Amino acid sequence: MWTNVFRLGGLSQVSWFQFLPVESDLNSLPDKRIKVEQKDAATLLVLSSHLQLQKEGFLSAWTNSFVGPWDPSQGLHNPDEKIKLWLFIPGRHASVVDSAQSAVSRLRVVASGLWLAPGDSEEVAAALSQALRNRIERALLGLSYMRFGDVFSRFHPPQIEESIRRAQPTIEFIFAATEESIFVHAIISSKFVKFGILRF
């Protein structure tokens, strides 16, 4: 196992924005099937905006958002659960920068603020951590690393059975914020990761 610590400069203050789709009131729709279809369309809008922001090099992530009181009689999943998009822009920004406007044009800002290291909001810190992992994931794709939760593992398509039995290099990133900046603790090790091939 090998570890190293890196400092992410320029991230001592980060403007954040939360988005939800612009949509009509789902409660006014009588047909349950229409509500489900509209919820799926809203989810697709958030995910496509997230992917566009990722392609353009922005720090973004999506998280679950619970809207309204949770009713235990509905089972494990809240029918009012939605996903929301987070956009993080280094520095102080009162509004979304012009270069990100096209990606979020079909979404509405539901909350915004300024995250100052080391931060005082667990929700914002968790979303920022996810956005940083997303950025790292895009950087490591060209090096044949795949993401499994919070761990990145080297992937070689198994040509022969012996290659599956070898331990693969993995990297795990842990983020820590101080008043100076965000620090990344990289833990590099070898683990056995089982890859499966689906055949139809």
- The per-residue pLDDT for 39 is 74
Range of the domain at 90: 2-191
Distance, first Cα to last Cα, the chain:
38
Per-10-residue mean pLDDT, the chain, length 200: 64 91 56 69 91 95 71 54 90 94 94 89 91 89 80 67 63 82 81 51
**Number of domains within the chain:** 1
Q: Which helix (H) or strand (E) segment is 49 a member of?
A: helix 32-55
Q: If we measure between CA atoms, which residue out of 65, 181, 186, 175 comes closest to residue 128?
A: 175
61 part of a folded domain: yes
- The per-residue pLDDT for 90 is 92
Residues 55 and 53: their CA atoms lie apart, in Å, by 5
200 part of a folded domain: no
181 part of a folded domain: yes
Distance, CA of 193 to chain centre: 23
103 part of a folded domain: yes
196 part of a folded domain: no
- The per-residue pLDDT for 145 is 81
29 part of a folded domain: yes
Backbone phi, psi, residue 182, to 5°: -100, 135
Q: How many CB atoms lie within 10 A of CB 36?
A: 13
- The per-residue pLDDT for 197 is 46
